[in-house]
Structure 1
Amino acid sequence: MMKNERFFHIAVPIFAVILGLLVGAIIMLISGYNPILGYVSLLDGIVGDSYQIGETIRAMTPLILSGLAVGFAFRTGLFNIGVEGQLLVGWLASVWVGIAFDLPAIIHIPLAILAAALAGALWGFIPGLLKAKLKVHEVIVTIMMNYIALHVTNALIRTYLLVPGERTGTINTSASLASDFLMQLTQYSRLHYGIIVAIIGAIIMWFLLERTAKGYELKAVGFNQHASQYAGMSVSKNIILAMVISGAFAGTAGAMEGLGTYQYMTINGGFTGQGFDGIAVALLGANSALGIIFASLLFAGLKIGALTMQSAAGVPTELVEIVIALIIFFVASSYIIRWLFTRFSKEGK
């Protein structure tokens, strides 16, 4: 039974991707586009040269951390829809520290990342507290707090940090994750050292959930609160802690944008989408640290490669969004894929 579960955890995402690409090809044919040329152009846009590779890795960096935020909460029995808002407050906190202080890089960068993690953790603490003490469903609270985060960050920028261009100033170089070496290596892409932070985040999630007693306790509470309470575990504390850790991952994702890709923060007219993409990444990655890394690579590659697919094959970028939606749909329809596997395996016997 355990082997079957592991097999399905690996097989379902792979088949979801295959089915998504296949249905996407059919849609291209119906729409009058060449799916072979389209997908070849898409692949070329992902790994065609060092610049494209650098941009793909850069794009997957915040996706990994957003996916970890969603996946961690889900593994502990919670559904954190507020990753987008936690990312925004983390982004602003990292940029503020990057602007306000002028310290050695070895101190400044960790301090800015820590500020982002704490801001995201605080934004996660509120729905965690309401869930633990008042039984308010975290989905409702986190959705609403996304809008609060969007407008609060915009107001803070406009009031205290605004410079021409409807944005904050640029962070000090001592807080920057950008690297001349990585830029030259990838033909001046925006690749930065944030990918190392994201990988460390994935290792932390794996170690915490799989190798510590606290991780076991968090998962136990998520699996069955009544049994956990009967066993002497504090359900309330673990719910709050799970949301705080999830929020910290999301806030760190914001720091990757603030300290790495952009090095400032604009007044946003809407959401960035990174936090919501994290839900899809976690779903495709089966809420595991390693799976989330691979899923973020796929999603980042599709988004970066879509630009080349449009210019080289004339295929609209919206078709890539359709493919992504199809992949998510087939992952969510994993019951059908499991049924097909079971039926074919029985027929084979």
Structure 2
Amino acid sequence: MSRELPAWIDIGVLPALNILMAFLVAGLIVLLVGENPLEALDVLVAGAFGYPGSLGYTLYYTTNLIFTGLAVAVAHHAGLFNIGGEGQAYIGGLGVGVVALSLDTALPGWLLIPLAGLAGGVFGAAWAFIPAWLQAHRGSHIVITTIMFNFLAAALMVHLMVNVVIEPGQMSPQSREMAESAWLPFMHDILAGFGIDVTPAPLNLSIVWAGLACIFVWLLIWRTRWGYAIRTVGHNEKAAVYAGIDPKRVIVVSMVISGALAGFVGLNEILGVHHRLLLNFTAGYGFTGIAVALMGRSHPVGIVLASLLFGALYQGGTELDFEFQTITRDLVVVIQGLVILFSGALAFMLHPTALKLWRAWTARREAAQ
């Protein structure tokens, strides 16, 4: 019989232990700066879920991380490490903004918003296509090219925002505000229509699209021939070739889908919250999405849970900075980094020990039978 770890340990117990270790180390740091770690944890949790409107902010951050986490996951199943989610989200937001700014006075919202969302996916996919093609046909490593394209995306956005898209007479590098027909409805407004009164927050209808994206990725990877081809190439490229699968095509298609998913961040940020194009709206979501995908084991359910955790850290960390004089925003970033470290880079640190214990326990149980 198999001696591999069961899914409930590999997917459930080990990630939970990694998070626990991250919080233990974070607690020691909080203790060193002179604060009570339990009080800080209480403020963190209350800031993310307990205060009026806090859940809306947490889910707003979660939405972005679902998109970027899914983007990393799809590429990962094909054996690719897509570091370019930040740039793909940036260019995807550019696509959303260009369509919305160009057509917000000509089209009704029910047509404009889907077109802008489609543009976000197309722009993100196009930005991922070039590194994918270089990997598939020229052997250029996807990690190197996607990192380079992050910098190219940032430089391109600076040029466009400063010289082309900037609102006339405005010193800040941002576009004019879009017409309200291009705004995604806020969830508190939607709920108010059903008689449910909640505190206003940035959470908007894009969270529904994030949920649909999770279903799409699950169906694609585990319920389609394309998904089988993606997973086959990711596990063993030579076996995929033997089975008649074209790895080059799979690499390009996987990265294009990955880039499109990252590009949907623009829906949440541009149409859902800011209602204008501006610099640095991605705020590192593309990089955090890497940790989200690793923690979630590249599965949509795990990615949703990991995104919720990081969304809570984003929102709860803001409350920590507000409540404690010695816990600054920089220290909050350190705490977030510890979670990323233990759930990302050290994700499999406990795996050998857990596997050894599981094998010993299984052998003892079989001997008893």
Q: Structure 1 length as normaliser, TM-score?
A: 0.94
Specify the alignment match of 1:296 in structure 2: 307
How far is 1:150 from its partner?
0.9
For the Cα contact (< 8 Å) 1:76–1:219, is it kept in 2? yes
CA contact (8 A) 2:321 2:332 kept: no
Residue-pair matches, total: 348
Measure how far apart 1:83 and its partner are: 0.6
User: Aligned pair in 2 of structure 1 residues 189, 122: CA closer, same or farther (>3 Å)?
Assistant: same
1:132-184 CA-to-partner distances (Å, cap 9, x unmatched) read 11111011100000111111122222333211132011222222113261586
- The 5 Å alignment of 1:130-279 reads 130-163=134-167, 164=170, 165-179=172-186, 181-182=189-190, 185-268=197-280, 272-279=283-290
With 211-220 and 185-194 compared, the bigger mean Cα shift is at: 185-194
Query: Which residue among 36, 39, 45 is the counterpart of 2:38?
Result: 36
The answer as to whether partners of 1:41 and 1:313 remain within 8 angstroms in 2 is no
Q: Offset at 1:286? A: 1.1
3-state SS of 1:50 partner: coil
Write the distance in 2 (CA, Å) between the matches of 1:334 and 1:121.
Answer: 29
Rounded to whole Å, the distance in 2 between the matches of 1:110 and 1:39 is 40
Provide the rounded CA distance (Å) in 2 between the counterparts of 1:91 and 1:334: 31
TM-superposed deviation, 1:31: 2.0
1:341 and 2:354 correspond? yes
Q: Deviations over 1:49-74 (max 9, x none)?
A: 33111111111111110111011111
Gaps of at least 5 residues in structure 1 are none
Q: Which moved more, 1:151-160 or 1:138-147?
A: 151-160
Alpha-carbon RMSD: 2.0
**Once the two structures are aligned, what percentage of the paired residues are identical?**
34
For the pair 1:113 / 2:121, whether they are aligned, the reply is: no
Q: Give the distance between the partners of 1:224 and 1:3, measured in 2 at CA.
A: 21
Contact 1:130 1:136 (C-alpha < 8 Å) held by counterparts: yes
Partner-residue secondary structure (3-state), 1:161: coil
Q: Deviations over 1:163-221 (max 9, x none)?
A: 11320112222221132615864422111111101111111111100100111011111
5+ residue gaps in structure 2? 365-369
Answer yes or no: is 1:328 the counterpart of 2:340. yes
57, 74, 84: which is aligned to 2:86? 84
Residues 95 and 116 in structure 2, CA contact (< 8 A), matched pair in contact too: yes
Deviates more, 1:121-130 or 1:99-108: 99-108
**Equivalent-residue separation in structure 1 for 2:355 and 2:243 (angstroms):** 37
Question: How far, CA to CA, are the matches of 2:292 and 2:240 in structure 1?
Answer: 29
Change (3 A) 1:309 1:76: same
2:41 maps to amino acid: Y
**C-alpha contact 1:84 1:275 (8 A) present in aligned 2:** yes
- For 2:346 and 2:313, the matched residues in 1 are separated by 21
Give the counterpart letter for 1:341 in structure 2: A
- Separation (CA, whole Å) in 2 of partners of 1:329 and 1:309: 20
Aligned partners of 2:349 and 2:293: how far apart in 1? Answer: 20
Cα drift, residue 15 of structure 1: 0.9
Report which of the two structures shows the higher radius of gyration computed on alpha carbons. Answer: 2
| 8 Å CA contact 1:53, 1:186 repeated in 2 | no
Deviation at 1:347, TM superposition (A): 7.1
User: Does the residue aligned with 1:78 lie in a helix, a strand or coil?
Assistant: coil
More helix by share: 1
